[in-house]
Structure 1
Amino acid sequence: MKGPGIVRGGVLAAALLSVLATAACGGTTRDDNEDGEGGPAAEPTGEANPDAPIDEGLSVAFLPKQVNNPYFTVADAGGEDAVNEFDGEYKEVGPTEASASSQVSYINTLTGQQTDVIVTSANDPNAVCGALNNARNAGVAVVTFDSDTDPGCRDLFINQATAQSIAENQIELISEQIGGEGKIAILSATPNATNQNAWIDLMREELEKPEYDGIELVDVVYGNDEDQKSFQETQGLLRSYPDLAGIVSPTTVGVAAAARYLSGSEYKGEVALTGLGTPNQMREFVHDGTVEAFALWDPAQLGYLAAYAGAAFASGQITGVEGQTFTAGELGEYTIGAAGEIVLGPPTVFDAGNIDDYDF
């Protein structure tokens, strides 16, 4: 793996892993909210011991948005690599559909099994709050990665990149590809996905800048992170807006489905497409001219960093206080930001010149 801090030619990740409860490590003060509504995150307290070894045998469970999503398959495998490195016990559980409440029963089961660490990417910021707070009250460390929940319902969040950097990247890419003018649309994942909505809001703000005066955002549609629905939504966009210049799809399922539709249609080479995708998904569409460039971080590093963050927290190396640092295996040192957020770095841009250098 390549380390953090590399853009356009190095792979970046961003991730997060959950960590042990106060009773287990004497680290973070829990939020007393038990009604599932969340609220302001409690300020972490307690002494950190950066020299403490990682505890052996930590049980770490990854709960992705959906287990059949290629993006999370790669991310969770990176988490498993890290857990194996520090001699923990790894498992992956989760729903096959990314609906709002589909993760709740898995959280409840993991809580009952006295799992040390739950690492989850929330399908909905509110639907999982009650279950996550129940887990925290039972002594489970809760860390979100990729898509956050209410900060009052978790202990740490590892962000793959800042929302601002992703929004800037996506608008810059589509602007370059359509010559700075024309109608564009966004093909998102689920309507309630925390990360997607944050990115879309910031993309709207980015489009208000003078340099993007010639670009008009005409629609936002949702493929629910389902291949066929995303394919159909792409088709629907082009029927509704035959003069569409480009599509931005900041979801790996959506951008691959949109590329598949465009590659077999009259719009290939005429309608630009960018978004967030994996090189292995998008390689054929870059080589056949359907897609010029897209972006992502390395999801394997996302999971890897998540696991080490959780292990560091669970072992008392960190307690969640802003400014504390820890070492994430071969990725090196990371620093905790405000509200327990850990950011890996900006996304990497993939195009015909570098896409064959990556395999994920």
Structure 2
Amino acid sequence: MKKRAVLGVALAAVLALSGCQGGQSGQTEENKPAETTAAVDKTAAGTTNAGREAANDPQEEKELNILVMPKLVGIPWFNASDVGAERAGGELGVNVIYAGPTQADAAEQVKMIEDYMNKGLDAICIAPNDPAAIKPVLNSARDAGILVMDWDTPADKEDVDYSVNSVDPVEYGQAIWDCLVEAMGTDSGQYAVITGGLEAAGLNMWIDAGLEYAKVKYPNLELVTERIPSDEQQQVAYQRALELVKTYPDLKGIIGVSTPAPLGAAQAIQEKGLQNQVAVVGGTLPNDASVYLKDGSMDFCIVEANPETLGYATAYVAAYALQGKEIATGLEIPGVGPITVQEDGKTIILGPPLIVDGKNVDDYDF
């Protein structure tokens, strides 16, 4: 946390020298940052390259407007990301707008992006529900001189300037399958995968990586059906898990991919009293998983990162890049630490996955 203060001051100073309004935390009432939840139409920012260059002119005052869009609002993971993104905006003196659809709807994401672009944006950071569906609007944004990033879930690499990832997707997928085998107590048997949405690129990357890994390391695992969508809803995942244990009485494990999925699966296992028969693992938040981890309804929670940290890092990288600063391996982000940038120069990795179980869940408060 001390590092956050030091680097936050340094970056805020850079933003101030670039003609941006606001400043670092601890500023006077006269110089406090703009409210991060305000609408972007209060800014006079342009959306062209010329507009971005003006932001770097010490003679021009221009507030940076950064849209951070989740796949949907209202679920714990993205609620926590919202806190981090807006906190970064306040500390850096930039206007962070955190907005997204109430359902995992790519068409609604496109509409919202277009509306915000018309009001004036400097950066768009999106967790896409469908990379193909948002491609045209992201290309339009880049043509207009807007910095485009993805976070949490990747868009097509050619459509973004940077991609902020909590973990390496291959490493994460492999960790999930390792945890499944450990929880099952065997490397053979039937299992199923409940995901968020079938078009979610990030979820598919993790699943694909895990399935390829299992072919080599765990060839006796049997996937009983294709990945099952839950529409990013715990109740739907719960229903799908009930259907699975009824249809496949020899089922030994369920993997939940997307934060509501393992919670719904664990809820079903708890209700049926199958803690010693069906293992449940997946990626969700320790606070939400705690009750299930402690009673054995869920065996492992494989956490990408603290979602608040992910939201903070996303807004931080956007602000840093808008100032023309180099995004490279070793860049220290407050509260995150040094990042890794892969060879493509776009893909940013924040750290390794965190494995949480019933014994250590109380060590984490998110």
Same-fold call, TM > 0.5? yes
RMSD in angstroms over aligned alpha carbons? 2.2
Shift of 1:293: 1.6
CA distance in 1, matches of 2:334, 2:242: 44
SS in structure 1 opposite 2:190?
strand
Structure 2 match to 1:89? 95
- The residue type equivalent to 2:229 in the other structure is Y
Structure 1 match to 2:26? none
Structure 2 match to 1:259? 266
User: Are positions 1:304 and 2:312 aligned together?
Assistant: yes
SS in structure 1 opposite 2:132?
coil
Contact 2:65 2:122 in 1 (8 A): yes
Contact 2:148 2:162 in 1 (8 A): yes
User: Are positions 1:203 and 2:210 aligned together?
Assistant: yes
User: Are positions 1:315 and 2:323 aligned together?
Assistant: yes
Contact 2:184 2:252 in 1 (8 A): yes
Structure 2 match to 1:37? none
Contact 1:100 1:192 in 2 (8 A): no
- The residue type equivalent to 2:200 in the other structure is A
TM-score with structure 2 setting the length: 0.81
Structure 2 match to 1:344? 350
SS in structure 2 opposite 1:264?
helix
From 157, 166, 180, the equivalent of 1:160 is 166
User: Are positions 1:127 and 2:100 aligned together?
Assistant: no
Structure 1 match to 2:287? 280
TM-score with structure 1 setting the length: 0.82
Where in structure 2 are the equivalents of 1:201-280 lying within 5 Å? 201-209=208-216, 211-219=217-225, 220-280=227-287
Q: Percent identity?
A: 30
Structure 1 residue runs without a partner (length 5+): 4-19, 27-48
Q: Which has the higher helix share?
A: 2
Work out which of the two has the higher radius of gyration on C-alpha atoms and give 1 or 2.
Answer: 2
User: Are positions 1:193 and 2:195 aligned together?
Assistant: no
CA distance in 2, matches of 1:83, 1:284: 34
Contact 1:21 1:139 in 2 (8 A): yes
Shift of 1:327: 3.3
Shift of 1:25: 4.8
Shift of 1:353: 2.0
CA distance in 2, matches of 1:175, 1:21: 52
From 111, 114, 119, the equivalent of 2:120 is 114
Shift of 1:22: 4.7
Contact 1:184 1:247 in 2 (8 A): yes
Structure 1 match to 2:338? 333
CA distance in 2, matches of 1:182, 1:137: 51
Post-superposition Cα deviations, 1:139-197, rounded to whole Å, max 9, x if no partner, equal 22111001111122221101111111011100100001112221111001101000111
Contact 1:125 1:149 in 2 (8 A): yes
Shift of 1:24: 4.7
Distance 1:21 1:329, change over 3 A: farther
SS in structure 1 opposite 2:77?
helix
Post-superposition Cα deviations, 1:236-276, rounded to whole Å, max 9, x if no partner, equal 21122111000011211111111111111142331000000
Post-superposition Cα deviations, 1:312-355, rounded to whole Å, max 9, x if no partner, equal 1001112x6xx565332232333432151101111100012211
- The residue type equivalent to 2:211 in the other structure is R
CA distance in 1, matches of 2:130, 2:158: 14
SS in structure 2 opposite 1:316?
coil
Post-superposition Cα deviations, 1:41-80, rounded to whole Å, max 9, x if no partner, equal xxxxxxxx9xx9xx98322221110011211110121111
Shift of 1:130: 0.8
